[in-house]
Amino acid sequence: MQNHPVNSLSMDFLTEFLINLEKLENDRSCRGIILTSGVPKIFSAGLDIMEMCGKSAEHYAEFWRAVQEMWLRLYQSNMVTIAAINGSSPAGGCLMAMSCDYRIMAENPKYSIGLNETRLGIVAPFWFKDTMVNTIGNRATESSLELGLSYSSPEAHKIGLVDQLVPEEKLQSTAAAVMSQWLAIPDHARQITKSMMRKPTVDRLLAHREADIQNFVSFISKDSIQKSLQMYMEMLKQKRG
Amino acid sequence: MQNHPVNSLSMDFLTEFLINLEKLENDRSCRGIILTSGVPKIFSAGLDIMEMCGKSAEHYAEFWRAVQEMWLRLYQSNMVTIAAINGSSPAGGCLMAMSCDYRIMAENPKYSIGLNETRLGIVAPFWFKDTMVNTIGNRATESSLELGLSYSSPEAHKIGLVDQLVPEEKLQSTAAAVMSQWLAIPDHARQITKSMMRKPTVDRLLAHREADIQNFVSFISKDSIQKSLQMYMEMLKQKRG
Amino acid sequence: MQNHPVNSLSMDFLTEFLINLEKLENDRSCRGIILTSGVPKIFSAGLDIMEMCGKSAEHYAEFWRAVQEMWLRLYQSNMVTIAAINGSSPAGGCLMAMSCDYRIMAENPKYSIGLNETRLGIVAPFWFKDTMVNTIGNRATESSLELGLSYSSPEAHKIGLVDQLVPEEKLQSTAAAVMSQWLAIPDHARQITKSMMRKPTVDRLLAHREADIQNFVSFISKDSIQKSLQMYMEMLKQKRG
């Protein structure tokens, strides 16, 4: 992933990501992917706030459908998916990592990961929550989401949000080694097993997909939410400027 | 909570608790509560056995409805709820603690906590069980309930039944500090998130509320159960006498 | 269990196991059983591959129904069931252990346990998966099943797949001591609690039992699966030969 400055999940980025993912999915010579960042210090900053601010309801709906699609495709990919997390990974970035089969994170106390939506006054949707419950269990998810917690890499490892910690210089080689282990398993049996584990969670979103979009659009369109997102964007601009 | 000698959840206590909780819930200046005991060495002894012994079926039904109501209100309170557990907390006392958003327990090996109903020959109802599964997971709940386990405070911390252990003299100040962290989160986003996490569990009781009452009444009215509760009460009287 | 050389779950073994289990279940003087192996170094090797190779569809269906029945009876036994795991316990052997109320394993790094089906190119059915999720949670089950992991006894203890590790010479005495603790709990309350914990998982299989049999028969009848099982059997024969 290389979408400067922070790998935000913009409409363009999501579209390109989905096209590439589908190409690889249909390429029989590709059995696994390693998801990592080409941008220093950040894995992905999550959903692009620009797409959620001052736009039309149609735009919000289209954007949210793309976010759903990214998760649906990644979470049930037939390929082995390994996240090599070489930077911070808040909100939507954390979702992407959790949607992979395995997570390896660079041992750097400055890198954090978590679904921190509540801190911005917004709410992680139920399928973000479901994905987290599937990863770290109900209780850790509950306090994590209610407090919008960001975990340092050692903390994330301790609660099981990432599977393995390695020094940053060994991240890519470890990801490749782990990939070999996964590819040693017969694809067919692994794919059926993955689907058995994840399909009920996917089906929940599919059953409520349009309602989830409507819910997002009406929430994000609220004056109070728009105001707080604009303030947050101003803050980010000044910080970067 | 101050209902001498052991903060038993009697009909009177539950009624007063519910009235006070509703008052605070409707008081916009109150955003959080710390649940703690004014009685030494005991947080709450759980359901008052006096209410379950030698009374009419109508009384049992009314009592059980009040217990359900306490859980329903506390488990989905809009306020931040923190349990400062300064004493033992068996059965219904453990349920109250588990219904809060966060649990801090005094580091005292004499204090125990757990759903120990099976030891008395009775059975924790499904929504006690659901609340425990949500807190410590399925397997720990299974052995916990089947054996009626009481955990010392270090054990309770280890399995995640309480979130934090502190020396007894620091319990209230820690609870206040934790409360500040929780109150730093925008109420609205936290409340929606809490409801998303807990509503399915609440809905299960609401869907079977009357059946659950009937179940309790017929179980507790059994001669064998009445006999064993009476023996237990005699034992307690002699112990205290 | 004593079915040389490796306690394979053959049709004959399952039939005898079910008859004996039912006898004990109906014997009021028997309140608990300890499941252990009379064969050195192996608890149970799991399903007998001979029953799944080169037989008729009717045979596969009959065999699978017996495997289901074994799990249904063991998982919801009214007796206290303790697994004293004195050897390796792959696949169906692991399922038997997980179906007990408590698991004690000999501290021997050579003994492994796990649902390793995917390694053979086959897939653990959903109720194997459900039983494992109930024991070690969703995430550990996911990677466990997708990779077909076998755990050494210390690893199995760490992730909660077994409850206790003891030196091999103390395995039987520890199992007896644990049994005493469980038998100290009133049977009736323990049995209702166990049923409350396990019935939803049992009901899922009962609701899809015939479909699960059809699924097994059509999967195992595939040429590719038959070929790989035959190769595996040849390998085993040469190894033993």
pLDDT tens-digit map of C52-106: 999 999 999 999 999 999 999 999 999 999 999 999 999 999 999 999 999 999 9
Residue B190 with chain A: CB contacts under 8 Å: 118, 146-147
What is the domain-level CATH number for residue A223?
A: 3.90.226.10
Is residue C3, in this structure, part of any structural domain at all?
no
How far apart, in whole angstroms, are the C-alpha atoms of residue A182 and residue C118?
Answer: 11
Q: Is A96:A83 a contact under the CB 8 Å cutoff?
A: yes
Q: Is ipTM strictly over 0.85?
A: yes
Is residue A4, in this structure, part of any structural domain at all?
no
The catalytic residue among A74, A108, A116, A229 is: A116
Helices (H) and strands (E) in chain C, counts: 10, 10
Q: Which of B60, B33, B59, B61 is nearest to B175 (CA)?
A: B33
Residue C192 with chain B: CB contacts under 8 Å: 123
Is residue C1, in this structure, part of any structural domain at all?
no
Which residue range is the domain that position B187 belongs to?
11-240
Q: What is the pLDDT of residues B132-175, one digit of tens each?
A: 999 999 999 999 999 999 999 999 999 999 999 999 999 999 99
How far apart, in whole angstroms, are the C-alpha atoms of residue C104 and residue B136?
Answer: 21
Are the beta carbons of B193 and A146 separated by less than 8 Å? yes
Q: What is the pLDDT of residues A186-227, one digit of tens each?
A: 999 999 999 999 999 999 999 999 999 999 999 999 998 898
Q: Is C150:C120 a contact under the CB 8 Å cutoff?
A: no
- Res B239 pLDDT > 90: no
For the question of residue C92 being annotated catalytic, the response is: yes
Is residue A181, in this structure, part of any structural domain at all?
yes
Q: What is the pLDDT of residues C8-59, one digit of tens each?
A: 899 999 999 999 999 999 999 999 999 999 888 999 989 999 999 999 999 9
Task: Write down the pLDDT at residue A241.
Answer: 60
Locate the chain A residue with the closest alpha carbon to B80.
A146
Reduce the DSSP state of residue C196 to 3 states and report it. helix
Are the beta carbons of A139 and B160 separated by less than 8 Å? yes
Of residues C118, C120, C139, nearest to A193 (C-beta)? C118
For the question of residue A134 being annotated catalytic, the response is: no
Q: Does A91 touch chain B (CB under 8 A)?
A: no
Q: Does A126 touch chain B (CB under 8 A)?
A: yes
Q: How many separate domains does chain A show?
A: 1
C189/chain B closest Cα distance in angstroms: 5
Is residue B4, in this structure, part of any structural domain at all?
no
Categorize the per-residue pLDDT at B2 as very low, low, confident or very high, splitting at 50, 70 and 90.
confident
Is residue A5, in this structure, part of any structural domain at all?
no
In chain B, the percentage of residues whose pLDDT exceeds 90 is 86
Q: Which residues of A135-170 are buried (b: 16+ CB within 10 A; e: fewer)?
A: bbbbbbbbebbbbbbbbbbebbbebebbbebbeeee
CB atoms within 10 A of CB C207: 10
Return residues 137-166 of A near B (CB < 8 Å). 137-139, 141-143, 145-148
How far apart, in whole angstroms, are the C-alpha atoms of residue C138 and residue A196?
Answer: 12
Is residue C4, in this structure, part of any structural domain at all?
no
Residue B160 with chain A: CB contacts under 8 Å: 139
Residue B220 with chain C: CB contacts under 8 Å: none
Q: Which of C163, C182, C197 to mutate to test the interface with B (most CBs of B within 10 A)?
A: C197
Is residue A6, in this structure, part of any structural domain at all?
no
pLDDT mean over A71-93: 97
Q: Which residues of C50-75 are buried (b: 16+ CB within 10 A; e: fewer)?
A: ebbeebeeeebbebbbbbbbbbbebb
Task: Write down the pLDDT at residue C229.
Answer: 85
For the question of residue C117 being annotated catalytic, the response is: yes
Q: Does A32 touch chain B (CB under 8 A)?
A: no
Categorize the per-residue pLDDT at C241 as very low, low, confident or very high, splitting at 50, 70 and 90.
low
